[in-house]
């Protein structure tokens, strides 16, 4: 944790950590404590006075059917996005790991969507599925399937899931490929000599050995789906139609910034905070175990 050889100074270390600590206190700790405090307040319509109500905001939230819907929407969205992004990333990594000729080219070609902003990825997919002139929407029309995500909630959800997963494939691909390359060749060869086919080898040797990578990516992808996809939702559907894509992060923003419901929005922030903290704890406990593995 620390060096044997250290420098001595009564003031220098404080000066060195000061910029980081001051910014953290002003822009992180203070607002977060404000959110905690506000989550227990109710303001009147003009914002002139406020009353301390303990956990009333939370009670209201948990009995609000709209919040329940938003939780369900978030679960559907995160599970679908994570599953789609993880399975496609794994499939491509397994394929790229088998290839000998052109491996570097494939790798570079699959990597770069990571650099595309979620909101921009959303706009690209929005254009392809635009009901009047989108190439996929018109193709679906021609096949007799009416596409209009502006009216159909399920189609809107499918659209944001596709855009969100598309952007994340590159990341999962990279980490799965690194994981696959660490698996000793001798294990695979031994299994092949014993007569196990490629499919059996994958499920009984490769996949179990990849489990640390898979678990790590699972956490990262859930965090991504929960928080980083705000741009996609905001740009593509604005939570609509009729709340069909209103995930928790978008709801916090919308209730607080557009609806100006301070207490309710703060209570939602606190719940999100608890989610982030638990995900971080899971990630770090797992990392400790990976060191031993």
Partner 1 sequence: MVENRPFLTFLTHAVIILGLLIIVFPIYVAFVASTHATEDLVTTVQPWFGDQLVENYRTVLTAGKINAGGVPVGMMMWNSLVMAVGIVVGKIAISLLSAFAIVYFRFPLRMTCFWVIFLTLMLPVEVRILPTYKVVVDLGLLNTYTGLILPLIASATATFLFRQFFLTVPDELAEAARVDGAGPMRFFLTILLPLSRTNIAALAVILFIYGWNQYLWPLLITTETNMTTIVMGIQRMLYVADSIPEWNLTMTTAILAMLPPVIVVLVLQRQFVKGLVETEK
- The footprint of partner 1 on residues 67-106 (CB under 8 A) is 88, 91-92, 95-96, 98-100, 106
Is 108 one of the binding residues for partner 1 (CB under 8 A)?
yes
The answer to whether 40 touches 58, Cβ cutoff 8 Å, is no
227 token code pair: 């928080």
Q: Which is nearer to partner 1, 65 or 285 (CB)?
A: 285
Q: Is 40 in the site for partner 1 (CB under 8 A)?
A: no
**Binding segment (CB under 8 A) for partner 1, from list 46-54, 59-67, 73-81, 271-279:** 271-279
Residue 3 touches partner 1, criterion: CB under 8 A: yes
The CB-of-170 to partner 1 minimum distance in angstroms stands at: 8
For partner 1, the closer of residues 55 and 257 by Cβ is 257
Residue 115 binds partner 1 (CB under 8 A): yes
With contact defined as beta carbons under 8 Å apart, do 232 and 149 qualify?
Answer: no
Answer yes or no: are the C-beta atoms of 86 and 217 closer than 8 Å. yes
Q: Which of 5, 48, 143, 258 binds partner 1 (CB under 8 A)?
A: 5
Asked if 150 is part of the footprint of partner 1 (rule: CB under 8 A), the reply reads no
DSSP secondary-structure letter at 259?
A: S
Question: What end-to-end distance do the CA atoms of the chain give, in Å?
Answer: 21
Of 11 and 65, nearer to partner 1 (C-beta) is 11
Distance CA 51, CA 183 (A): 60
Cβ distance to partner 1 smaller for residue 56 or 97: 97
Interaction with partner 1 in 215-254: which residues (CB under 8 A)? Answer: 216, 220, 227, 230-231, 234-235, 249, 252-253
35 is a contact residue toward partner 1 (CB under 8 A): yes
Q: For residue 213, what are its two tokens?
A: 């990578």
3-class secondary structure per residue, 159-219 = HHHHHHHHHHHHHHHHHHHHHHHCCCHHHHHHHHHCCCCHHHHHHHHHHHHCHHHHHHHHH
Stretch that binds partner 1, among 51-59, 77-85, 120-128, 151-159 (CB under 8 A): 120-128
Output the CA–CA distances (angstroms, integers) from residue 253 to 69, 197, 206, 259, 267, in the order listed. Answer: 16, 51, 42, 9, 12
Q: Is 119 in the site for partner 1 (CB under 8 A)?
A: yes
Q: Is 117 in the site for partner 1 (CB under 8 A)?
A: yes
């Amino acid at each position: 944790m620390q060096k044997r050889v250290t420098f001595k100074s009564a003031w220098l270390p404080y000066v060195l950590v000061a910029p980081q600590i001051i910014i953290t206190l002003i822009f992180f700790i203070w607002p977060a404590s404000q959110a905690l405090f506000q989550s227990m307040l109710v303001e009147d319509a003009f914002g002139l006075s406020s009353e301390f109500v303990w956990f009333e905001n939370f009670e209201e939230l948990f009995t609000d059917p709209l919040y329940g819907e938003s939780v369900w929407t978030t679960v559907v969205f995160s599970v679908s996005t994570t599953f789609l992004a993880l399975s496609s990333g794994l499939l491509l990594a397994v394929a790229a790991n088998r290839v000998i000729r052109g491996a570097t080219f494939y790798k570079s070609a699959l990597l770069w969507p990571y650099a595309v902003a979620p909101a921009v990825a959303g706009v690209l997919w929005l254009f392809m599925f635009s009901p009047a002139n989108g190439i996929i929407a018109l193709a679906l029309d021609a096949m007799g399937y009416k596409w209009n995500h502006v009216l159909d909630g399920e189609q809107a959800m499918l659209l944001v899931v596709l855009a969100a997963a598309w952007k994340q494939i590159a990341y999962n691909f990279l980490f799965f490929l690194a994981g696959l390359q660490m698996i000793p060749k001798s294990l695979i060869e031994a299994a092949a000599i014993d007569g196990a086919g490629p499919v059996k080898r994958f499920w009984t040797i490769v996949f179990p050995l990849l489990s640390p990578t898979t678990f790590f990516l699972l956490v990262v992808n859930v965090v991504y789906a929960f928080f980083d996809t705000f741009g996609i939702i905001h740009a593509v559907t604005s939570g609509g139609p009729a709340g069909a894509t209103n995930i928790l992060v978008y709801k916090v923003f919308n209730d607080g910034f557009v609806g100006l419901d301070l207490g309710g929005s703060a209570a939602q922030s606190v719940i999100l905070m608890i989610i982030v903290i638990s995900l971080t704890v899971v990630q770090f406990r797992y990392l400790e175990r990976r060191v031993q593995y």
